[in-house]
Amino acid sequence: MADAFIVAARRTAGARKGGRLAGWHPADLAAQVLDALVSQLAIDPALIDDVVMGCVGQAGEQSFNIARNAILASKLPESVPGVSVDRQCGSSQQALHFAAQAVMSGTMDVVIAGGVESMTRVPMGLPATLPFKNGFGSYMSPAIQARYPGVQFSQFAGAEQLAVKYGLSKDALDQYALASHRRAAAATREGRFDSEIVPIPVRNAEGTATGEMHAADEGIRFDASLEGIAGVKLLAEGGRLSAASASQICDGAAALVVANERGLKALGATPLAIVRQMTVVGHDPVIMLEGPVPATPVALRKAGLSLDEIDLFEVNEAFASVPLAWLAATGADPARLNVNGGAIALGHPLGASGAKLMTTLVHALHARGARYGLQTMCEGGGLANVTIVERV
């Protein structure tokens, strides 16, 4: 079977809800990243066999196959197809898996995997809440309700359950949140994100360009303090988590070019990394966010690697309890985890986060001269993806 190479990886800087990317239609925002990849590699865009794009909020401006719409908003020819994926927060990580599987099979040679989410323009949960409020029912079918009586699936409840299960105190969660901001701030000051970020013109709410460029993650609190974080209101009375120890609502897009050896020759490109293992597991949908814990050893075993052989880890910071529980369960070295900060500081643009994290991971492996990287995401429904890559 052929290898799957990551040839290029780019992302927008994250933007706060109502912030510097709020004036961008999500199809146009994703198109900016597609165009940047094609321009960076100076390739014939007709060589692209498919575009697989993750998106969670597939409603309104993100409906009607956002991947295809991003292509039509880009400089890519109409001949390039596109398909949209929803595996909740792991949507664009799954897009990478699908792209890698396609080129490994030889049925395709060059595929772009990416994701986009405008949480400003398509608020979180809209595809479920809008139909429900208008009398079109709920995803909670009678059979699901019978299997999980009295249960309301909630990532917020799951995050608290995870903190309790692993004995994570509020102070530990707050300390982790502070570390995320400090790592992200240091990475930004030192220019570690420069090679991965596509600068985007800032547009106001009416979509008019302001003359500024958005080239740095907007959510980082460079002056973050433990006192400030600790003082934020809890998400639930008597709980341990607050908005300060949870991922930030975010607008953003990211994408990667994936190719096999035949595709590499056609592109005339040098790869950044090889995809060594792709794993996805189902887990308890009630605690919901624990999936990366059982998924990680499965991926390592299939890759024939030990935890100690992994140089860098990216574990999505949906809530601080997720990476801390993962650390507690795996015994991984915390100094190798989310070394440039995570979603608590940088934002979590849902369907774009998988591609965003992989973009950061691949660039970090090169910056540090490291060999192996592992990325994992907790996902709605009790799912988790794990991807292991090797720097080339």
Residues noted as catalytic: 89, 348, 378
Q: Helices then strands (H, E): number in the chain?
A: 13, 12
CA distance 303 to 305: 5
Q: Which two tokens stand for residue 178?
A: 């502070």
285-315: burial string, b at 16+ Cβ within 10 Å, e else: bebbbbbbbebbeebbeebebeeeebbbbbb
CA 381 remoteness from chain centre: 16
Q: Strands 250-259 and 273-282: what pairing?
A: unpaired
Residue 352: closest CA among 87, 76, 153, 17? 87
Name residue, tokens 């991971």: 361
Distance CA 120, CA 16 (A): 8
- Residue closest to 315 by CA, chosen among 283, 293, 300, 282: 293
Tell me if 332 sits within 8 A of 233, measured CB to CB: no
Other beta carbons within 10 angstroms of residue 47's beta carbon come to 16
